[in-house]
Chain A
Amino acid sequence: ETGVTQTPRHLVMGMTNKKSLKCEQHLGHNAMYWYKQSAKKPLELMFVYNFKEQTENNSVPSRFSPECPNSSHLFLHLHTLQPEDSALYLCASSQDLRFLGSYEAFFGQGTRLTVV
Chain B
Amino acid sequence: GQQVMQIPQYQHVQEGEDFTTYCNSSTTLSNIQWYKQRPGGHPVFLIQLVKSGEVKKQKRLTFQFGEAKKNSSLHITATQTTDVGTYFCAVIQGAQKLVFGQGTRLTINP
Interfacial residues, chain A to chain B (CB-CB below 8 A): 2, 31, 33, 35, 42-43, 45, 48, 50, 55-56, 58, 90, 92, 94, 97-98, 100, 102-110
Q: Which residue of A lies closest to B105 (CB)?
A: A42
Are A45 and B98 touching (Cβ within 8 A)?
Answer: yes
CA distance A48 to B35 in the complex (A): 19
Whole-angstrom distance between the Cβ of A49 and the nearest chain B Cβ: 9
Most chain B beta-carbon neighbours within 10 Å: one of A43, A98, A107, A109: A43
Total contacts A to B, CB within 8 angstroms?
A: 62
A108-B42, A109-B42 known; 10 new pairs, CB 8 Å cut-off, are A42-B88, A45-B98, A48-B96, A55-B95, A55-B96, A90-B42, A92-B43, A103-B98, A105-B90, A107-B44
Tell me which residues across on chain A come within 8 A of B43, comparing CB atoms: 43, 90, 92, 105, 107
**Residue in B42, B48, B50, B102 whose CB lies within 8 Å of A2:** B42
Contacts of A45 in B (CB 8 A): 97-100
Is the C-beta of B30 less than 8 angstroms from some C-beta in chain A?
yes
